[in-house]
């Protein structure tokens, strides 16, 4: 499951292309486009992809994480699919942005705590348990929260002009 970079690189590149093709090139528009792409593709498509892998190929996912394959992995898969659906809905409805980011952050930070605990207890440095995946579990929610705060701040400033 070393495809995590697709769900970071594609939204970033897609957002930049989207931004430069359009005529409106304000700071607020850049942040909005980044949020749209990261929510829709990063969380939306990425979480659905991860969730489907956990539901239909839990043994592969368990192997990449270095954990035993248990029925609980399928349940986590359905949680991922739910965040993915929220991310896709966020493309159309801005009112879904904050709830999607909050739910995603709680899930990812909880997963990060689990990975760190597992690393400390067992020394498990499998690709799906440590390294880039762990860092992204921690950093991506922070990026989304900061983008959302910046969007509202720049939007409020633009609305007062």
The pLDDT tens digits of the residues spanning 100-114 come to 999 999 999 999 999
Distance (Å, whole) CA 14 – CA 41: 9
**Is the predicted pLDDT of residue 24 greater than 60, yes or no?**
yes
pLDDT at 155: 79
| pTM of the shown model | 0.89
pLDDT at 2: 56
Question: How many CB atoms are closer than 10 A to CB 5?
Answer: 10
The pLDDT tens digits of the residues spanning 26-72 come to 999 999 999 999 999 999 999 999 999 999 999 999 999 999 999 99
**Is the predicted pLDDT of residue 160 greater than 70, yes or no?**
no
Token match 């989207």: residue?
Answer: 18
pLDDT-based confidence at 1, cuts 50/70/90? very low
pLDDT at 47: 95
Burial profile 29-58: b = 16 or more Cβ within 10 angstroms, e = fewer: bbbbbbbbbbbbbbbbbbbbbbbebbbebb
Which tokens in the block code for residue 115? 């990975």
- Dihedral sign of CA atoms 66, 72, 78, 84 in order: negative
Mean pLDDT of 124-143: 94
Mean pLDDT of 124-129: 94
The pLDDT tens digits of the residues spanning 82-103 come to 999 999 999 999 999 999 999 9
């Amino acid at each position: 499951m070393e495809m995590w970079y697709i769900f970071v690189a594609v939204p970033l590149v897609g957002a930049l292309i989207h931004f430069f093709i359009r005529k409106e090139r304000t700071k607020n528009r850049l942040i909005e486009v980044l949020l749209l792409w990261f929510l829709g593709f990063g969380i939306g498509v990425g979480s659905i992809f991860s969730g489907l892998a956990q539901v239909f190929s839990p043994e592969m996912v368990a192997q990449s994480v270095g954990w035993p394959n248990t029925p609980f992995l399928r349940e986590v898969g359905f949680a991922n699919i739910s965040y993915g659906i929220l991310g896709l809905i966020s493309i159309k409805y801005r009112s879904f942005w904050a709830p999607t980011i909050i739910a995603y952050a709680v899930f990812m930070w909880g997963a990060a705590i689990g990975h760190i605990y597992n690393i400390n207890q067992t020394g498990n440095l499998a690709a799906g348990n440590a390294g880039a995946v762990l860092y992204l579990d921690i950093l991506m929610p922070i990026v989304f929260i900061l983008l959302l705060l910046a969007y509202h701040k720049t939007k409020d400033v633009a609305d007062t002009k």
